[in-house]
Structure 1
Amino acid sequence: MSARKRIVPARALDLVLVVLVAPLALPLLAVLAGLVRLVDGAPVFHMAERMRTPTRSFRLYKLRTMRVAAEATGVLGGDRADQVTRLGRVLRRTRLDEVPQLWNILRGDMGFVGPRPPERLYVARCPELYARVLRDRPGLTGLATLVFHRHEERLLAACRTAAETDAVYMRRCVPRKARLDLVWQRRATACGELWLLARTVGGVVWRRPSPGRAGRRRAPPRP
């Protein structure tokens, strides 16, 4: 995963973890997929292009959380929060919409820990930056996700136009997340990955809405 020598290769650790979580994740995914189909209709899954490297893309799988006609490129800000379904808000808040990404991990598109895979448009705008960040395989979670995600939510939830969302994300989110991803790239270890995963799960389980910010329009604006 990084240039640093590892006792346990990142890919081997990913495969072991997939085998361990699959007995719980597969029944959960079946229930969640059925719930999306029942409440919001078809399609159940959303496939989005994400970048594995600066030049190589893959299809990222999620449970659908937005209205069918509303799916679009770019991060989700306050200007598009009403496009998220009621069930989708719950799935995003708990990150259960990302359970299908176990398939991406099994395929080798991404790992459990690493930088969140960016959209092509952001890589095209910041090629030198993402050339460094994407030396690591993208991940389901990572240091930037753990440290910066809640602050990113607040920044983007306050945006009221697509132009403002784009400007805030490019100016205030992309550089900060990249710095954190590069810190992890230099210090990645197998024990560190397990710690990040545990902290991520703990953050989802114990997450509470910020006072005065739990309004109807709010939804986690992930790319």
Structure 2
Amino acid sequence: MATVIDYEGLGTGRAAIKRAFDLVMSAIGLVLSGWLILLAWLAASFDTRSNGFFVQQRVGKDGRLFRVVKIKTMRPSRELNTTVTRSGDPRITPLGRFFRKAKIDELPQLWNVLRGDMSFVGPRPDVPGFADSLVGEERRLLSIRPGITGPATLKYRNEEELLAAAEDPEAYNRDVIWPDKVRINLEYIRDWSLTADLRYIWKTVVG
């Protein structure tokens, strides 16, 4: 069931500009990187001995659920049953580690952007239990599409290392990292511009 949003997002004009950019660039991106996505899918299928695409339910705009698509980088583990991924996580394969470092695992999300599930820039789409539990002004995060990258993503590009160093990774993610991401993303919505989006994309690409 969709969440009712109490706060205005980008506004009609800015939202239209952002969506037009996403639509054109995701189509171009899929044409240019389709061969790489196919090769990565084949390699991940052999590496993980399963379908090389990782598909998971995430919370999107207005609280609607959608299925995000990525290249699979992990094998299942009986010992670990958490959505929090730490540096050195034994579930990540050597090839998967390379895909993560090179951001190749993110490429299939261009399809999510083309479909309108996601945007190039915005809050990262979370699993149910975080974004859909926002209250008050924080629910403004649900007024825009989640993104492949963004200011919070860039700040916490070493999130796995931070979680690995935490005594209780899930609590640290819930009580420290998540609230800070909410703050950063609220500022992003308030100050949105296409120029800023281009800057975040550039910083993501160049690392």
Equivalent residues in 2 for 1:74-113, closer than 5 Å: 74-77=83-86, 81-113=89-121
Whose relative contact order is higher, 1 or 2, with alpha carbons under 8 Å and at least 6 apart? 1
CA change 1:168–1:99 in 2 (3 A) is same
* Aligned counterpart in structure 2 of residue 10 of structure 1, from 18, 21, 26: 18
For residues 11 and 204 of structure 2, the distance between their equivalents in structure 1, rounded to whole angstroms, comes to: 24
Residue 156 of structure 1 corresponds to which residue in structure 2?
A: 163
SS at structure 2 position matched to 1:134: helix
1:186 maps to 2:194: no
Query: Where does structure 1 lack aligned partners over 5 or more consecutive residues?
Result: 204-223
Residue 177 of structure 2 corresponds to which residue in structure 1?
A: 173
Residue correspondences, number: 198
Residue 205 of structure 2 corresponds to which residue in structure 1?
A: 201
For residues 43 and 20 of structure 1, the distance between their equivalents in structure 2, rounded to whole angstroms, comes to: 25
For residues 101 and 191 of structure 1, the distance between their equivalents in structure 2, rounded to whole angstroms, comes to: 22
> Is residue 62–residue 144 contact of structure 2 (8 Å, CA) maintained in 1?
no
SS at structure 1 position matched to 2:198: helix
Residue 181 of structure 1 aligns with an amino acid whose one-letter code is: N
Q: Identity of paired residues, percent? A: 34
Cα RMSD, aligned residues only: 2.3
> Is residue 53–residue 131 contact of structure 1 (8 Å, CA) maintained in 2?
no
TM-score by length of 1: 0.80
> Is residue 129–residue 178 contact of structure 1 (8 Å, CA) maintained in 2?
no
Task: Tell me the CA shift for residue 83 of structure 1.
Answer: 1.3
For residues 35 and 159 of structure 1, the distance between their equivalents in structure 2, rounded to whole angstroms, comes to: 33
1:147 maps to 2:155: yes
> Is residue 114–residue 181 contact of structure 1 (8 Å, CA) maintained in 2?
yes
For residues 16 and 27 of structure 1, the distance between their equivalents in structure 2, rounded to whole angstroms, comes to: 19
SS at structure 1 position matched to 2:169: helix
For residues 77 and 15 of structure 2, the distance between their equivalents in structure 1, rounded to whole angstroms, comes to: 47
Query: Where does structure 2 lack aligned partners over 5 or more consecutive residues?
Result: 1-8
CA change 1:187–1:124 in 2 (3 A) is closer
Q: Which aligned runs of 4 or more in structure 1 are off by greater than 4 angstroms?
A: 69-73
CA change 1:7–1:75 in 2 (3 A) is closer
For residues 102 and 164 of structure 2, the distance between their equivalents in structure 1, rounded to whole angstroms, comes to: 17
For residues 62 and 166 of structure 2, the distance between their equivalents in structure 1, rounded to whole angstroms, comes to: 28
TM-score by length of 2: 0.85
Residue 136 of structure 1 corresponds to which residue in structure 2?
A: 144
1:142-191 Cα offsets, whole Å, 9 max, x none, are: 111112322x233112246xxx1110001110111111111110111112
